[in-house]
Amino acid sequence: MKKIIQKIFKKKKKTNRKKGKKVLIILIIILVALAGIFAAFNFEKSKKASSESKSVRTATVTKRDITSELSSSGTISPKDTYDITSLVEGEVVTADFEEGDEVTKGQVLYQIDTSSKESELTSVKNTLDRAQETYEIDLGDYNTALSDYSGNTYKSTESGYIKSLSIKEGDKVSNGTSIADVYDDKTMKIKVPFLTGDAVQMAAGNPATLTMTDTGEQINAVVTSVSSMEVTLTGGRIVRYVTIDVTNPGGLTTESAATAIVGDFVCSMEATFEPKLETTMVADLSASVEVGSLLVHEGDYVSKGTPIFKMESKSAEKLLRTYKDTLEKAQSTLESAKSSLESTQDTYDNYTITAPISGRVIAKSVKAGDKITKSSSGSTTLSVIYDMSNYTFEMSVDELDVKSVKVGQDVVVTADAVSDKSFSGTVTNVSLESSASNGVTNYPVTVTLNDGLDELLPGMNVDGVIILAEAKDALTVPADSVKRGNEVYVKDETVKEAQGDIPAGFRAVEVTTGLINDDYVEITSGLEENEEVYVAESTVRTTQDTMMPGGIGGVGGGMGGGPRGGGGGSQRK
């Protein structure tokens, strides 16, 4: 029994030993598997870390010159062009120039026959002369009327005593109405006969001596006229009457008689005196007026300009209005004549065609002897002139960029026809006359070239690059180093773990940016020269040619190799 039990126990022990050995083997296999998995995990992690480490690219904060630019293409045009046309018809008499000639502004190019306009021009000139003369007369009359009728008064046209008045208050006075009889005996005149042979030797201004018949008193006088008509007196004496004026000493009347001596000649008979002036004053009016009140009386002495009567205000205004109306009509006629002359003169001048600009004759299609007809005048180009003292071209700038373009900005110009050379230009105009195409609005920008006149020609295609802004010796980083919010990832070995988008070994720094172009960004604060910054993958691809181990190298600034804009719009750089 004991043996049996020992045998069973021995067998069970042997069985347990086998089972324990089997478990140990399983444990060893599990441990080896776990070690393999852990090693594989570490390998993949190391591989991934190695891969990530290899994909990180950096650039060094570097000083360089940086520019912001805008490019577009255009076609060269001369500074100014002019198509010569004619406004009139007729035969071309002269055309003394040829294609290729240099002409100056104002130089006569064509002379067209003017014979059809000569008589018309003379006629309108004569009309103007007559209108001018009429206007001057009417202007004088108007000014005289203002003076004569000042204060609404009618003034005397004679000097002398009023012998009698022919008007009273309330009367209507019109042109030719008798106003008063006037005489003046301050100066008396006497007409005495002299023998014709004596009279012909006398002249106005000769001194004379008068002897009063009744008193024998002698008075000095002056000959005023000698009649050329001969008269026969009794006894057959042939005489001529001589008129002599004398200042009335106070006693001469129309009944006083006297004889006269002129030099050595004695009159043939005595004669009586008469006032030098004895006339009827009549109204000189362009319209009827009403006498408001008399300002003089019979027996009063009046001089020229002495108010005779006061006119009613309404009639005075009407009187002056007639003069003003006449003057305005004359003025209108004069202005019309002037306008007619100017129009005719302009038309006449159009028969002489001069160069409107200085430049070179590019084309001449009409010569002397050719005829310009109504159907061709104004539409047929006689010749073409280019002002080639300067060149311009037009750049088409996108609406998003046009506000950055200013007059005076520098432009670098290149032409396909002149390789390996650039020219300088200046923005001279930014037009607001936009054009739209495919939903894009563009604005024309005019560039004037500063050089290249000897190498470039009108019609050549050119590319222009406008220098919008420049920064010299500026701290810069690649454009894709700057993230949203103006953050830059700066190399920092103390940072062991990645923080979101920030790779391990970098920290975020907020910067202030300045000038920006397609390749670089100016940093005005936040970074220092030679610091190493993270560069996004897009920059890596576009700057592979400038990469150096550990970062982006390269010296200098400016823009990268972005494509230039074509004629359809501008390209910002």
Q: What is the 3-state secondary structure (H, E, C) of 455-524?
A: CCCCCCEEEEEEEEEEEEEEEEEEHHHEECCCEEEEECCCCCCCECCECCCEEEEECEEEEECCCEEEEE
**What is the average per-residue pLDDT within 92-114?**
95
Write down the mean pLDDT value for the chain.
85
What's the half-sphere exposure (Cβ side, CA atoms, 13 Å) at 369? 0
Looking at domain 386-572, its CATH architecture is Beta Barrel (2.40)
CATH 2.40.30.170 in the chain is located at 386-572
- Residue 478, both tokens: 């690649």
Q: Among the listed ranges 138-142, 173-177, 327-331, 550-554, which one has the minimum average pLDDT value?
A: 550-554
Helix (H, G, I), strand (E, B) or coil at 73: strand
**What is the average per-residue pLDDT within 146-152?**
92
Residue 416: closest CA among 460, 356, 476: 460
Residue 553: pLDDT above 60?
A: no
Alpha helices by DSSP H, listed for 56-190, are 115-148
For tokens 């009409």, name the residue: 366
Q: How many CB atoms lie within 10 A of CB 462?
A: 25
Contacts 24+ apart (CB under 8 A), 405-411: 405/70, 405/430, 405/445, 405/466, 405/468, 406/430, 409/466, 409/467, 409/468, 410/466, 410/467, 411/447, 411/464, 411/465, 411/466, 411/467
Give residue 189's pLDDT: 95
Q: What are phi and psi of 283, to 5 degrees?
A: -70, 140
Higher pLDDT, 267 or 552: 267
Which stretches of 160-263 are assigned E, i.e. beta strand? 160-165, 172-173, 178-195, 207-212, 218-226, 231-232, 238-247, 257-262
Give residue 380's pLDDT: 85
Give residue 558's pLDDT: 37
Residue 228: closest CA among 190, 268, 199: 199
Give residue 190's pLDDT: 96
Handedness of CA 239, 243, 248, 249 (dihedral sign): negative
Q: What percent of the chain has a predicted confidence (pLDDT) above 70? A: 84
Give residue 376's pLDDT: 73
Whether the CB-CB separation of 516 and 24 falls below 8 Å is answered with: no
Distance CA 82, CA 84 (A): 6
Residue 568: pLDDT above 90?
A: no
Give residue 32's pLDDT: 60
pLDDT in tens, 27-77: 667 666 666 665 555 545 444 444 444 468 899 999 999 988 888 999 999
Q: Among the listed ranges 259-273, 449-463, 490-504, 528-542, which one has the minimum average pLDDT value?
A: 528-542
Residue 361: pLDDT above 60?
A: yes
Residue 382: pLDDT above 80?
A: yes
Give residue 22's pLDDT: 60
Contacts of 307 (CB under 8 A, 6+ apart): 151, 153, 154, 155, 156, 295, 296
What type of residue is 71? S
Give residue 4's pLDDT: 41
Based on DSSP, count helices (H) and strands (E) in the chain, helices before strands: 5, 38
Give residue 311's pLDDT: 96
Give residue 21's pLDDT: 55
Give residue 461's pLDDT: 94
Give residue 57's pLDDT: 86
Residue 81: pLDDT above 60?
A: yes
What type of residue is 394? E
Residue 274 binned pLDDT confidence (cut-offs 50, 70, 90): very high
Residue 224 binned pLDDT confidence (cut-offs 50, 70, 90): very high
- Residue 302, both tokens: 């009046």
Q: What is the pTM of this model?
A: 0.51
Give residue 182's pLDDT: 95
For tokens 């064509």, name the residue: 110
Contacts 24+ apart (CB under 8 A), 317-322: 318/287, 318/289, 319/145, 319/149, 319/285, 319/286, 319/287, 319/289, 320/145, 320/146, 320/149, 322/286, 322/287
Distance CA 543, CA 536 (A): 11
- Residue 229, both tokens: 């008509």
pLDDT in tens, 483-526: 988 999 999 999 989 888 899 999 999 999 988 888 899 999 99
**What is the average per-residue pLDDT within 261-281?**
94
